[in-house]
Structure 1
Amino acid sequence: MNESDYTYSSIPNDVALKIASSLEVTDLSCLSCCSRVWRDLWGSDCLWEPLFKQRWPLLYEDVLKVPDFKGWRGFYIKQHKEMKDQADSVIKFVENCLQSESIQVNDYLKAIECQKLMGFGFKDVQMLLLKPKLNVLLNLVGLHYCLNILKVPASDVMEALKSSNIKNRQICIKWWKLGRWFYGFRMRDEFHFRCLSLEDLASSKDDLDGLGVLQRGAIHEVLQVQISIVSSRSNPWA
């Protein structure tokens, strides 16, 4: 059907809105490029208000009080740009802390704290940090934040990893523990490591095999924790 032949009567308005309301933001934006009809529908408040409320529920009530309110799509785009700028600052921080494709746990935990201070929601992390083009350590920072800070159900996080095609990306966690005392003598410090996929970390209930070591950081008996990228060129046992 040619665009000139495509009119509002081709699809009832309520049906078109029902179709559009089932789409994600990126798909909705692509749909707006199809024709003038879809572009007009793209600006509808009935589409953007639930998207805004779902992504930023705590901010939703404040927006309702704004005196010069001009539509939900504009507010959504404005807020998304602000969150993207904040995500870029987290990305830059992590990249600056990287040393030979690894990061110390204290810097890693600071990156998670930054997300908390910035008020990231699950959708923000999913759209801005759980992306295949980013370093897997940034994926891990987003994953950890969703599970341990936002308390997002593991099943939802697993689905986000799957949809982003990053669930099989791997990292290696290495940590050194203070040697135990044995009959008045302290034994040699102990070295431990775990090589895990993001899917393993999201589904693990064992602190030693999951995020527990990272969450505790270099405290108590743990002397140092390091997180590294696992690739075909790297040897996690080195």
Structure 2
Amino acid sequence: MNPQPSIHSSLPDDIALKIASSLEGWRGLYIKKHNEMAEKAAGVVNFVERCLAFESIEVGHYLKAIKGLNTMEFGFKDIQMFFLKPDLNVLLNLVGLHYCIALLDTPAEYLMEVLHSCNISERQVHVQWWKLGRWFYGFRMRDELHSRNISLGDLVTCKDEEVLGVLRRGAVHEVLRIQIAPAKSETQRQDPR
């Protein structure tokens, strides 16, 4: 049986050489761009990891990481490749996801598909924030602590608008402080160690 001739064998040698060098140039450009984005992503990952205090991150640093992704012009595929991976800290997953929701305006169905394919849709974060105490008959009441666990999938489908709003706004107006951490499992909550 005769092997099928390749497209290059039917072309003159000089044209085939131009096509091959053009493809190699494109491939080299793609690899260079990928390596640049990987280096930028590593910078954001290092920034977030340096900002973690007792496994949580303050909202100011969290929003700065998202702004950094925007400044470096990350696209959806870049976020998928470098931030929506199960072996990363869930806070890095959240930074990438929030960037896609807030700044790339990525449709929810695309995000859910990626979260499911990467097996991270059920990963949870714990968000707690302190609201300034209300005034009552001339006295200011104690500051109020609010706390929620929410999965990455639920953030995409906006199942808890209050948490998403707090993450978008940051510490402004009546919100004094916001901390974001990986959610602890039930056994970790019960174990005092």
What is the deviation of 1:235? 2.9
Shift of 1:234: 3.8
Kept after mapping to 1: 8 A contact 2:154/2:160: no
**Aligned-pair distance for 1:194?**
1.0
2:176 counterpart of 1:223: yes
Find out whether 1:152 has 2:152 as its counterpart.
no
Match of 1:105 in 2: 59
Q: CA contact under 8 A between 2:134 and 2:140: conserved in structure 1?
A: yes
Structure with bigger RCO (C-alpha 8 Å, 6+ apart):
2
Paired letter, 2:124: Q
Matches within 5 A, 1:197-216: 197-204=151-158, 206-209=160-163, 211-216=164-169
Q: Tell me, in whole angstroms, the C-alpha distance in 2 between the residues paired with 1:207 and 1:122.
A: 23
Q: What's the offset of the Cα at 1:44? A: 7.6
In structure 1, runs of 5+ residues without a counterpart are: 15-42, 46-67
Separation (CA, whole Å) in 1 of partners of 2:93 and 2:178 = 18
Please point out which of 72, 89, 97 is paired with 1:143.
Answer: 97
Shift of 1:69: 9.1
- In 2, the alpha carbon distance for the partners of 1:146 and 1:103 equals 19
SS in 1 for 2:36: helix
1:34-54 per-residue CA deviation (whole Å, 9 max, x = no partner) reads xxxxxxxxx989xxxxxxxxx
Residue pairs, 1:59-138, within 5 angstroms: 71-138=25-92
- CA offsets 1:25-77 (integer angstroms, 9 cap, x no match): xxxxxxxxxxxxxxxxxx989xxxxxxxxxxxxxxxxxxxxxx9953221111
Q: How many residues align?
A: 179
Shift of 1:124: 0.2
Q: Distance in 2 between matches of 1:137 and 1:44?
A: 43
| Residue aligning to 1:33 | none
1:13 CA displacement: 6.7
Q: Which amino acid aligns with 1:155?
A: E
Q: CA deviation at 1:142?
A: 0.1
Gaps spanning 5+ residues in structure 2: where? 8-18
Conserved 8 A contact 2:133-2:140 = yes
Letter in 2 for 1:115: L
2:3, 2:106 → 1: CA distance? 40
Matches of 2:20 and 2:81 in 1, distance apart?
A: 22
Compute the RMSD of aligned alpha carbons: 2.7
| Normalised TM-score (structure 1) | 0.69
Q: Percent identity, aligned pairs only?
A: 56
